[in-house]
Amino acid sequence: MTEQRVAIVGAGVAGLHCASILLENGLEVLIFDRETEVGGRMKTTNMDGFLLDHGFHVLQTAYPNASRVIDYKALRCKPFQPGALVVDSRKGKPKIRRMADPWRQPIRGMISAFNGFAGMADLLRIARLRRDVLKGTIDTQFDGDDNTTMEWLHSRGFSESMIQRFFLPLFSGIFLESDLRTNERMFRFVFRMMSKGKMVLPVDGIGSVPAKMAEQIGEDKFRLGVRIGGIDEGSVRFRGEAHRFDAVVKAFSESEGDGPSRSVWTMHLDAEKAPFRSKHILLNGNLSEPSSLIAHVAVPSNVQSSYAPDGRNLVTVTIVGDRVTAAGIQEPSSIEAAAREELGQWFGDGTVSTWKTLDVNCVENALPEIGAGIRLTNQPRQGESGATECGDYLLHGSVEGALLTAEKAAQEIIEKLKNPTSSNQQPMRRF
């Protein structure tokens, strides 16, 4: 009996995971991607010994599916420290304060309460928030209201200072939008993951996650640099011709360009001396001011020394796209100049002027839009194309979400091929 062949269009983590499951189930796969490299939104470029992730990106060890699929040990992942640094310029000269995690580091948490950043009431609210999101299962976090994150934080009684100085810079850098309009259920899910596990970086950059998955699948299963122009249940169209398969999986979103887009600018800098030594992310406590652009700064080489050559440090600056749009600047050079000015206020112009810019780049359509009132669940939605689909856009913008949708798509294909009579031929969908 000949093996049944499945075409998978999209070599992001969703397409790759779907391919692995199908291979494990004895099916033959061919994976197409318009790019010449696998990974989709998870890529790393090696530039003169610096590992430049395409946007600041971490893995959460608490993701249940990801921890089964991704071998954190083989990727030699190392963690960030819990808590955060917060830069605060409220009273003239900017001060960098440490906001400890009041649960894992209670003594330090108490100190944060008295160092002028957060009050004791807010720290207790954080501790309660943490207790509540850790209750029940992940699905429990998707129950209840589905308002915006901002509305939910207010309903939990957090002070304006805590919201603006801590939650806004941290979560705007995660959700890639600066109003905290993201569904509160997504916030609860992410906060649970952060409370339960660690945020880690692989030794070879975030792109090593899909690269490792692709290596296990095998080079001969890929057709890279091939843009698919249309699909139906049994064929994919490229270079002007339809090519037949037993089944097809669409592992990418078509919605690029429709509605609000979440984009992010990243500036990578080479510094002789790191601006801080700890393995924290530095949040911009002044992000609510219209003139402020940067959401956060990380020094990935403090966590994984492999991110920079010996004697150098990699400084990664995250600017959410809606902030540059609001500021009316678009050119990479203007964004770089504005970010350098802000960094200069925090670390000193003299210091920042010695940092060399390695790259300034923008990821468009970085995450799917997940607003309030959509009854977000933790179960992948059915795609609208009529084909079998996977990708984070069918659940939520995270590696965990992408992997869950891949498992559902793979099951659907296995069922379809076992029971071909149930097929319902749709016309070819063109992109």
Ligand X SMILES: Cc1cc2nc3c(=O)[nH]c(=O)nc-3n(C[C@H](O)[C@H](O)[C@H](O)COP(=O)(O)OP(=O)(O)OC[C@H]3O[C@@H](n4cnc5c(N)ncnc54)[C@H](O)[C@@H]3O)c2cc1C
Answer yes or no whether residue 83 interacts with ligand X by CB under 6 A.
no
**Minimum CB distance to ligand X, residue 193 (Å):** 8
Answer yes or no whether residue 264 interacts with ligand X by CB under 6 A.
yes
d(Cα 427, Cα 180) in Å, to the nearest integer? 40
Coil, strand or helix at 138: coil
Rg (Cα) of the chain, in Å, rounded? 22
**Minimum CB distance to ligand X, residue 95 (Å):** 27
Answer yes or no whether residue 40 interacts with ligand X by CB under 6 A.
yes
| Under 8 Å between Cβ of 31 and 218 | no
Coil, strand or helix at 157: coil
Answer yes or no whether residue 300 interacts with ligand X by CB under 6 A.
no
Pseudo-torsion of CA 113, 298, 158, 125, nearest 10°?
A: -60
Answer yes or no whether residue 33 interacts with ligand X by CB under 6 A.
yes
By CB under 6 A, the residues from 233 to 262 that bind ligand X are: 251-252
Answer yes or no whether residue 431 interacts with ligand X by CB under 6 A.
yes
Closest C-alpha to 17, from 240, 281, 214, 175: 214
**Which residue, 27 or 42, has its beta carbon nearer to ligand X?**
42
By CB under 6 A, the residues from 340 to 399 that bind ligand X are: 363, 366-367, 391-392, 397-399
**Minimum CB distance to ligand X, residue 81 (Å):** 16
Task: Tell me which DSSP letter residue 392 carries.
Answer: G
By CB under 6 A, the residues from 119 to 158 that bind ligand X are: none
Taking contact as CB under 6 A, which single stretch among the options 30-38, 94-102, 158-166, 240-248 is the one that binds ligand X? 30-38
Coil, strand or helix at 86: strand
**Which residue, 133 or 352, has its beta carbon nearer to ligand X?**
133
| Under 8 Å between Cβ of 18 and 390 | yes
The backbone region for 233, taken as left when phi is positive above 0, alpha when psi lies in -120 to 50, beta otherwise, is alpha
Answer yes or no whether residue 57 interacts with ligand X by CB under 6 A.
yes
**Minimum CB distance to ligand X, residue 229 (Å):** 7
Answer yes or no whether residue 402 interacts with ligand X by CB under 6 A.
yes
Among residues 19, 42, 168, 343, the one that binds ligand X under rule CB under 6 A: 42
By CB under 6 A, the residues from 168 to 227 that bind ligand X are: 227
**Which residue, 17 or 181, has its beta carbon nearer to ligand X?**
17
Answer yes or no whether residue 103 interacts with ligand X by CB under 6 A.
no
Among residues 7, 15, 265, 284, the one that binds ligand X under rule CB under 6 A: 15
- Which strand (E) or helix (H) includes residue 79? strand 78-79
* Total residues binding ligand X (CB under 6 A): 34
d(Cα 382, Cα 147) in Å, to the nearest integer? 23
| Under 8 Å between Cβ of 105 and 126 | no
Answer yes or no whether residue 297 interacts with ligand X by CB under 6 A.
no
Helix ranges (DSSP H) in 197-331: 208-217, 300-303, 321-327
**Which residue, 112 or 208, has its beta carbon nearer to ligand X?**
208
Coil, strand or helix at 267: strand
Answer yes or no whether residue 10 interacts with ligand X by CB under 6 A.
yes
**Which residue, 129 or 194, has its beta carbon nearer to ligand X?**
194
Task: Tell me which DSSP letter residue 191 carries.
Answer: H
**Minimum CB distance to ligand X, residue 363 (Å):** 4
Among residues 13, 123, 287, 404, the one that binds ligand X under rule CB under 6 A: 13
Taking contact as CB under 6 A, which single stretch among the options 12-20, 154-162, 274-282, 380-388 is the one that binds ligand X? 12-20
Amino acid at 246: D
**Which residue, 79 or 344, has its beta carbon nearer to ligand X?**
79
**Judging by beta carbons within 10 Å of its beta carbon (0-12, 13-18, 19+), is residue 68 exposed, middle or buried?**
exposed
Answer yes or no whether residue 99 interacts with ligand X by CB under 6 A.
no
Helix ranges (DSSP H) in 75-145: 106-114, 120-133
- Order across the sheet with 199-201: list the strands: 59-60, 199-201, 78-79
Answer yes or no whether residue 280 interacts with ligand X by CB under 6 A.
no
Task: Find tokens 């997940």 and name the residue.
Answer: 370
Q: How many CA atoms lie within 13 A of 149 on its CB side?
A: 26
Among residues 19, 27, 31, 58, the one that binds ligand X under rule CB under 6 A: 58
**Which residue, 112 or 172, has its beta carbon nearer to ligand X?**
172
d(Cα 422, Cα 431) in Å, to the nearest integer? 26
Binding site for ligand X (CB under 6 A): 9-15, 32-35, 40-42, 55, 57-58, 227-228, 251-252, 264, 363, 366-367, 391-392, 397-402, 431
